Amino acid sequence: MLMQDEIKACVEAILFVRAERVGLDELVELLDVPLLDLKAILDEMLLEYNKNSRGIQIVATEGGYLMCTRPEYAGVLARIDKPVRRRLSSSAMETLAIIAYQQPVTRAEIEKIRGVRSDKMINALLEKGLIEEAGYKDTIGRPLTYKTTIEFLRLFGLTTLKELPQLVEVTE
């Protein structure tokens, strides 16, 4: 059985290497630590990272944890060699917004809202890892549905979909 400091070090290493959300259940399995004990340790780690002025932080997301840089250091990080930015066209953003608010949603439903074919936009969003297949709709033809990913939440600084801004009805 690992000691508490060893567990913390292992969690840091896992989150650092993964560089994306790691589920609590996966951490339990990897570390062979009881869920309640691990949850207490993770809560303590969150407090430690927030209490100290570190350049990185551990963020709790839906059912998991993520290690990332602190937003207040964005200005400094912007001066280093720029990573490849994932720019989205207005068409891709429109498609992504429809999926985020209507999920799970089919290609036909997206196209009905947009008024144009959306194959290219959906494929681009799938390639960028912002959306994923969510299964099949229980209707005639059983069309494939799409939903947003954890990467979508991370990219837009959200922890849950409930944090999406409320839609406002536009009337003419």
Q: Give percent above pLDDT 70 in the chain.
A: 93
142: three-class secondary structure by DSSP: coil
Closest among 22, 21, 19 to 31, alpha carbons compared: 22
Tell me the pTM.
0.54
pLDDT value of residue 94:
94
- pLDDT tens column, 105-138: 999 999 999 999 999 999 999 998 999 999 999 9
pLDDT value of residue 1:
57
Closest among 37, 68, 131 to 8, alpha carbons compared: 37
Pairing of strands 131-136, 64-69: unpaired
- pLDDT tens column, 16-53: 888 788 888 898 988 888 888 889 999 898 888 887 77
User: Could you tell me which residues are beta bridge partners of residue 136?
Assistant: 144
pLDDT value of residue 71:
83
pLDDT value of residue 142:
94
Cα–Cα distances in angstroms (integers) from residue 88 to residues 14, 20, 68, 131, in the given order: 30, 20, 22, 13
Lowest mean pLDDT among 5-14, 50-59, 87-96, 153-162: 50-59
pLDDT value of residue 81:
67
pLDDT value of residue 82:
58
pLDDT value of residue 148:
95
Beta strands across the sheet bearing 64-69: 22-23, 64-69, 56-61
| 2 contacts 33 by C-beta, under 8 angstroms | yes
Is a pLDDT exceeding 60 seen at residue 170? no
Domains belonging to the chain, first-starting first, are 4-78 (1.10.10.10), 90-163 (1.10.10.10)
Q: What is the DSSP letter of 116?
A: S
119-127 helix and 107-114 helix, angle to the nearest 10 degrees: 120
